[in-house]
Structure 1
Amino acid sequence: MQILQDKKILLGISGGIAAYKTPELVRRLKDHGADVRVVMTDGAKAFITPLTLQAVSGNHVSDNLLDSQAELAMGHIELAKWADLIIIAPATADIIARITAGMANDLLSTLCLATDAPIAIAPAMNQQMWHAKATQANIKTLQAWGYHIWGPGSGEQACGDVGLGRMLEVTELVTLSSDFFADKYLQNQHWVITAGPTREAIDPVRYISNHSSGKMGYAIAHAALRAGAKVTLISGPVDIAAPTGCELIQVISAEQMHKQALTYAPQATTFVACAAVADYRVADIASEKIKKDSDVMQISLIKNHDIVADVAQLAQKPFIVGFAAETQNVEQYARGKLMRKNLDLIAANDVAKAGQGFNSNDNALTVFSAIDKIEIPLANKHIVAKQLVSLINQHYLLKHTRK
């Protein structure tokens, strides 16, 4: 059964240009099994018609608080009680401000006061409006009240500006809706995850790094979030967006990642060391660009701190999962790291195989504990991550049951 099957979703549309995306949003939610009803503000009707939303939803579109026929049955209260989830998309700066102020001067703002259903806000506005102090204060207030803030995304806007403020894409909103109703078996857990490569500077313009894209670590963060965990993602430099809802800590070097890992790991229930951390750093980083004066250049390297091993030495250590990206003798090296570094689990993959590992969308893992060996077959990294997160939790619960 689909996660959204028979879920009742009330979509509130306010007056932003992103309203043109809402028919597609309704269709995709329905494709996933949801029953969708739509409420529109007067501003929304300037961008998209109620008839269009009625056609794609298969339900009457509500747009008037003072509709005499609807209010014979107290229509706004009926809608407020009907919803399992209210999504306001696009949520303009105006509707956000009116909801925060407790106003009820149209049907959508009234519903927000009259419902006990969870409400998700998908902001959509000019980047300057998003960064305005009033908007940021309103968002913080709504978060404190338990509203879910989905976005905004970043990119080119209708006005020509570039920056935060775009409504999330339809696929992202549908994923977040599914995540909202997913089994929250990691609720009350805090996962700290490292991801991506590190860059070790040689001079102001050159560095040593590796081929890690961060896709596996980010997929694990998304899967843990979907399962209800609080997630802190410590990420090296990557070209992918962090999952909505996680706490993102951006770093560049192995030393910076080490510092942040030891800061956040003591607060965690689970620590997943997925980052491809450079084993060595340059002993003396040049302050100016090194000139190409000879055919041979020598650089002295010194060993970086072993992040996952140091986390494992903490007095109050979390459940620790390491990663081993190998090109040969995968099981031998993985088991050696598991024991040597005092880990609970280690996930190993053969990055020498084509179509998996670094920079690929797919991966295959072999997960080792002190007594087990579990294969996760080749699949998209998000599928692999979902299986891995479930497996980690099983071993986490087993360990804590034994205590």
Structure 2
Amino acid sequence: MKEMNMSDLTNKYHISVMPEPDEMPMGLQSGSGSAASSSGSIESSSGSSGCDGMGVEQDCTITLSASGGNADPDTGSIEIPISAAGSAPTAGDCCDLNEPDYSFWVIEVLSSISAEGPWESADSSLSILPDAASPQQALLQGTLNKGGRFYQIRLSASATWSAEESDNDCENCSGCDSCTAETETTLIAYRPCPSGCDKTVTVTPKLNPIYRWVIDDNACAVTLKVRVILIFFNPTREIPEPDWTSTKIENYKSMFASTVEDAFANNYAIIADDIICCPCTSYQPMLKIELTNDEDAIQIGIMSGVSNYVIEINGVNESKRDWTRGSIFNIETIGIGPNNDRSDISMGLKESSLEKTIKSTPPSTSPCHNIEQIIAAHEFGHLIGLEHPGQDLTPVAEPGSLADYEADADGLMSCGMSLRKKYFEK
């Protein structure tokens, strides 16, 4: 085995304390072992008794730590300097203590897509290269074969002290024994994906109280989670309809999230090109609605009844059905009620919005004629940034016009319930 001098490594490596998973930079990170963090036992050989030799306590010890390291994201090669520190045993007048012999070895390598596990056996090839100039130091080197993963590397080290009989008069000592101490420590290393591995997975976690992206590499899913608060109103109608009751409100709440989520359940996938590096070959796009009573949520007004209604909006009475203002990415709100009692509503739905109904009454010659739709799902699509299909035309259709819907009549963002690839590209 080629010997290595630690002086060659000066200023070449950097290592830092493991940050929280959300703060993990692209690069190698490693913790360090010490007497406090090493869980391995310290073992010693038995010494002779009744003589002034190595001593009967055999109190040699050793600690092991990592002092720096780096990883190549393209090849997965790593180099981590490690060092041991030994505490020599007690030697009496009859024995002259020799310098210790140090040994290092890799016990186990595990990997995980998370710094917190769960851990599984890893595909890696690691070895330890001793330092000829400083026997208590060595270099952990080799290859971590999969990118985008954390590696838990268990290392062990031992130090053995031997002794020779001194020139002193030691008639009662039969000989000088040896003392061996062993310990182990665990490093956490991270190999980033090669440059460009995740280009097809463009969504990233966002720090936002209303929505966030969650990339789950265990379930191979990318989920848009949206926090929603439902506000219930009893609007004015020419022909009155029953008001909300506590029972009806609870029923609506229990159905809202699952109905809209089911409408966006799909067979599309975000494809990962680098299946060697990325944990998943593809990711399932999903929608998750989290109902809450907190103010940090998108606020949706739910109107009792099934017919169009009159409601005061920004101080003016208007006849409405179902509507959306802005989206979770660009929030616009309106004021509802006397003196704009509610000025933070971004979407309005009727009580019947969770049922499949015909969205409008276009001419019988229209492709939208007699197509059923769950209105709440369509309007929630607007809330997460989707537009009518006519907005993709050249020139674009007038928003809300029949042409705006007829451009893709069966689509959820038109008159029907069918999903389209473009809904999940945002």
Q: Which band: TM-score by shorter chain?
A: under 0.3
What TM-score do you get using the length of structure 2 for normalisation? 0.25
Higher strand share: 2
Alignment TM-score, normalising by the size of structure 1: 0.26
Higher RCO structure, 1 or 2 (CA under 8 Å, sep 6+): 2
Q: Which has the larger radius of gyration?
A: 2
